[in-house]
Amino acid sequence: MIYYQAMALNKDICTIGIDMGGTKIAAAPFVNGKLVLDELLKDVTPQNNPQAILDLMAKMVNSIKEKHQVKAVGISTAGMVSDDGQMIGGCGNIKGWKGTKVKKELEKVLGIPVVVENDANCAAFGEYMVGGAADFDPVLLVIVGTGIGGGIVFNNKIWRGKHFAGGEIGHIKVSDKHNRRCTCGAWDCWEAYASGTGLENTAHLFFADTTIDNYKLMELHQKGNETALEVLNNWHDYLAIGMASVINTLDPEAVVVSGGMAQFINYPKLNKKTRDKVIDGVKDYVNIIEGILGNDSGMIGAACLANLEVQAATPVAAA
């Protein structure tokens, strides 16, 4: 009988994490459960040329392989990824990337397993395996940046959904009033209010000044400006509305927040506001925390996925 080992991280397995973005590609070895940032490689993302992107990633991997016994590669990329590692649907701002069979093409030239996963899912997996959510299960990651993204992890698995769009929580609806258009084309999505862009738009309304940005807003808030405080309270209200909906849906043990705006959130305040909005069954368990991996979470999550892939491919005979 063949079975698979429990899927904890095996620190003896060295993998590589790659962060594939619209402007840059970064890669680093993941050794003993840690990303080796001293050996981080970084380059500009070739535009409109998927083959050049693949070549660049292969070059980075081969360079890291010179020093490490790399067993697999994990790639965290913007866009939706199919089960067989092909780019489908929207690919963020990576031109020409859609349709690329990333896993197949890279495995062909590298000769080791390659795992490709959406960047928000990778970030969630990183925080779940070795980050701020390492002690919790299930976990929801909410990325609050220019938009709002999300990833759901449970029992060492990512909830990818039937069509690989699982965790797109930025587009849950928080109103039917047609007040704000979202980047997805629909009205009144959560991210239109609770993202960094949403916060800035609220500031424009409250101050009647379209030049005010989030940095200026935070500066005013620090100085005790009352309108700035109102804007930030409103932002926390909207953050709590969406958080309550996803917590009521998923009942996660923790919600981890990352992204560029995560540092501006008042977590005790957000936890309280969310607690006031959820059903009784989960009221005592609302646990919204800040992630600890920062911008490296995607790369780390991808490297962890590669680590588990190696283990899954190594069946162990039962005694």
Positions that interact with Zn ion (CB under 5 A): 171, 182, 184, 186, 189
Pick the closer one to Zn ion by CB: 249 or 263: 249
Q: Report the Cα–Cα distance between both ends of the chain, in Å, rounded.
A: 9
Q: Residue 213 CB, nearest distance to Zn ion (Å)?
A: 22
Task: Read off the amino acid at residue 229.
Answer: L
Q: Residue 169 CB, nearest distance to Zn ion (Å)?
A: 10
Pick the closer one to Zn ion by CB: 50 or 170: 170
Q: Residue 199 CB, nearest distance to Zn ion (Å)?
A: 16
Q: Residue 187 CB, nearest distance to Zn ion (Å)?
A: 8
Q: Residue 265 CB, nearest distance to Zn ion (Å)?
A: 21
Query: Do 43 and 56 contact (CB within 8 A), yes or no?
Result: yes
Pick the closer one to Zn ion by CB: 169 or 286: 169
- CB half-sphere exposure, 72, CA atoms < 13 A: 23
Q: Which string of DSSP letters, residue by residue, matches 47-107? A: SS-HHHHHHHHHHHHHHHHTTS-EEEEEEEESSEE-TTSBEES--TT-TT-TT-BHHHHHH
Pick the closer one to Zn ion by CB: 156 or 201: 201
Q: Residue 91 CB, nearest distance to Zn ion (Å)?
A: 17
Nearest to residue 142, comparing CAs of 124, 128, 115, 126?
A: 124
Pick the closer one to Zn ion by CB: 14 or 192: 192
Q: Residue 171 CB, nearest distance to Zn ion (Å)?
A: 4
Pick the closer one to Zn ion by CB: 171 or 236: 171
CB-based contacts of 272, cutoff 8 Å, min separation 6: none
Q: Which two tokens stand for residue 98?
A: 């859609």
Pick the closer one to Zn ion by CB: 40 or 184: 184
CA-to-CA separations, 270 to 145, 235, 267, in angstroms, rounded: 16, 10, 5
Query: Do 266 and 257 contact (CB within 8 A), yes or no?
Result: no
Query: Do 151 and 140 contact (CB within 8 A), yes or no?
Result: yes
Cα separation, 37 vs 24, whole angstroms: 16
